[in-house]
Amino acid sequence: MLVKIAKDRIRKGMFVESVACPSREFARRRFLLKTDAELAAILATSAVEVSINVRLGLDPDGRKPQAGKSDRLRDPVRIAAVRHEVSQSAQALRASLGDLAAGGSLDMTSLSQAAEDNAGIWSDNTVIALEVTRLKSKDETTYVHSLAVSGMMTLLARSLDMDEQTTGILGVAGMLHDIGKLLIPNEILTKPGKLTDQERLVIRNHPEAGYRLLKTYPELPPVVLDICRLHHEALDGSGYPLGLKKKDLSMPVRLSTVCDVFEALTSVRPYKRPWTSTQALDWMFARPQHFDRKMVIRLGSVLADTPLH
């Protein structure tokens, strides 16, 4: 669980997730605070708060983590709590995206906060969140999928040592990447049987439709628009909608593609059974013409504590 504390309360033995200051002042993130030099470096920054993970280190009162990983995974109270948090987040995202799809105003502050809260769920309960989000009802597929992609994108961004601002923007991008699907009739989007050629074209148009919609909101960073439009592109140019190749696909876009495909492969959908995490990662790794292998490997590392069988 992530906890924000005043900078002057940090001590050795805490697991630092991030320091609320510009990266030029202190670039390190996600590490166990062990030395006086590290402590002094944090205290010397302009930060007021520091985010710590009490699951991986001391809590604000100096207490060690209580439960082991296996205990947490079997804890029905914790599982129920994560399921409730995901459900509440999905309902909120449904309302927010629905408003955008209808041409409503964009509340970037609320979206950013929602992405940060969702990232906290995934950072603290990666195994449980992965399992909970694999099961989706037809009417919540788009929203829970977007939460899962957003959560994995933030985890992956942090593992790649991206700065806090960029990580936060990628979290927002994950929540918005499939907004074009809200413009597709439900009878096509949730159809259990085989799609017709025309229906398939409608589905494949969702990145472009979402991009056109988000482009009407100038306050959105360009990378959010790129991820919405390009997350179905492939490194060899065989993707859609533009058929771009690797040289034209930024690292954030390649990151989003890996998270999006992994989540889709491992989830229950009306038209397929879910793959295991191992099957999905192996399948993507075996296709370097489509996916950035560095991202696939790193995602596997991020999810290393999850049940991969």
Q: What is the pLDDT of residues 155-214, one digit of tens each?
A: 999 989 899 899 999 999 999 999 999 999 988 888 878 889 999 999 999 999 999 999
Asked whether residue 183 falls in the same domain as residue 38, the answer is no
Range among 61-65, 108-112, 239-243 with highest mean pLDDT value: 239-243
Domain extent for 190 = 69-302
In a domain, 307, yes or no: no
In a domain, 222, yes or no: yes
Asked whether residue 48 falls in the same domain as residue 75, the answer is no
Asked whether residue 13 falls in the same domain as residue 127, the answer is no
Neighbours of 281 (CB within 10 A): 21
Q: Is 114 in contact with 88 (CB distance < 8 Å)? A: no
Confidence of residue 23 (pLDDT cuts 50, 70, 90): confident
Q: What is the pLDDT of residue 53?
A: 79
Q: Is 303 helix (H, G, I), strand (E, B) or coil?
A: coil
Q: When comparing pLDDT for 271 and 201, which is higher?
A: 201
Asked whether residue 185 falls in the same domain as residue 273, the answer is yes
* Cis amide prior to 241 (ω within 30 degrees): yes
Asked whether residue 155 falls in the same domain as residue 221, the answer is yes
Asked whether residue 143 falls in the same domain as residue 252, the answer is yes
List Cα–Cα distances, 114 to 121, 173, 241, 244, 246, in angstroms. Answer: 11, 12, 29, 31, 31
Burial of 293 (0-12, 13-18, 19+ CB in 10 A): middle
Q: Alpha-carbon distance 31 to 15, whole Å?
A: 6
Q: Is 307 helix (H, G, I), strand (E, B) or coil?
A: coil
Q: When comparing pLDDT for 273 and 47, which is higher?
A: 47
